Structure 1
Amino acid sequence: MSTHYPAKPMLDDEALRVAEAAPGRRVSYGKDERARLAKMVTRLFDHWQLDTATQAELLGLSAGSRTALSRYRRGTPLPDSRDLMDRVGHLFGIHKSLRLLYPDNPELAYDWPQRRNASLDRYTPLEIMLEQGLPGLVAIRGYLDHLRGL
């Protein structure tokens, strides 16, 4: 069964602002912005076909955060936590890089995090992000930036 992927990028201006925020720089987001980001990050997880436990772990939440993830999906604002907002920013940065690297192949862009990668010692990018947490997100984003020539 084929999965339908949207033809246009799912990132809006707010997500791009999060993705482009300087690493380590504290950016404050209002409640409405954090609500939009909550919906967008859960939509990204849907495209990546991640289970709830994996979604929670990528956001730095406890494995039992199923209820919180359901609320975020409905638009409850993300907490104003630097760690969480940094993670979301890197996830959107990874997504942006994948869309730029594979503009004509959205299926590859969405499947890439779960594909084994010879350049990553045959680990999947997702395994690295889960094993290393925030530093893993930073590493995968940096790897993709390098591929883009940044």
Structure 2
Amino acid sequence: MHIHAETPQIIDRGALAKMVMQLMDHWDLPTEDQLALLGLASSNRSALGRYRQGEPISQNVDQYARVSHLLGIHKNLRLLFPRNKEHLYSWMKTRNKAFENRTPVEVVKELGFMGLLMVRSYLDRARGI
């Protein structure tokens, strides 16, 4: 992510797109789950390919917020599991008692943006923030 010193609000949305797609690859999520986490219609599979190529993330507030939360989730996981890459990358697909034995991905798929906030908040609390 490139933030220019003279204009801190400017963020390279193309770099964000590539980062979030790389994250989806690390998490090894099927296309359907990737679309759900990004809040995209299941018919919008082509958007994933465009994001992989660096097409900027939409300026749509929901889409931008989702990407921000997904990257925040990853940051939390990296800090919680610094020496366990396997757990770091499998956590989103692992059943969790905190989510009524659902996976974090299932929570987001079922509850949409609110589910994403629940997962992020859970990890924030786990880190003590």
The residue number in structure 2 matching 1:109 is 88
User: 1:32-54 CA deviation, whole Å, 9 max, x = no partner?
Assistant: x1000000000000011111121
Q: Residue 146 in 1 paired to residue 125 in 2?
A: yes
Q: Matched residues in 1 for 2:71 and 2:94: separation?
A: 18
Q: Matched residues in 1 for 2:2 and 2:128: separation?
A: 23
Aligned partners of 2:13 and 2:57 also within 8 Å: yes
Q: Matched residues in 2 for 1:135 and 1:45: separation?
A: 19
Misfit runs of 4+, over 3 Å: 27-30
Q: Structure 1 length normalisation: TM-score?
A: 0.78
Q: CA deviation at 1:119?
A: 2.1
Structure 1 gaps of 5+ residues are 1-11, 15-26
The residue number in structure 2 matching 1:5 is none
The residue number in structure 2 matching 1:34 is 13
What amino acid sits opposite 1:122 in the alignment? N
**Cα root mean square deviation, aligned:** 1.6
Question: Quick check: which one's strand share is greater?
Answer: 2
Aligned counterpart in structure 2 of residue 46 of structure 1, from 25, 30, 35: 25
Q: Matched residues in 2 for 1:29 and 1:124: separation?
A: 34
Aligned partners of 1:117 and 1:123 also within 8 Å: yes
Structure 1 pair 105/146, CA: closer, same or farther in 2 (3 Å)? Answer: same
The residue number in structure 2 matching 1:64 is 43
The residue number in structure 2 matching 1:96 is 75
Aligned partners of 1:93 and 1:141 also within 8 Å: yes
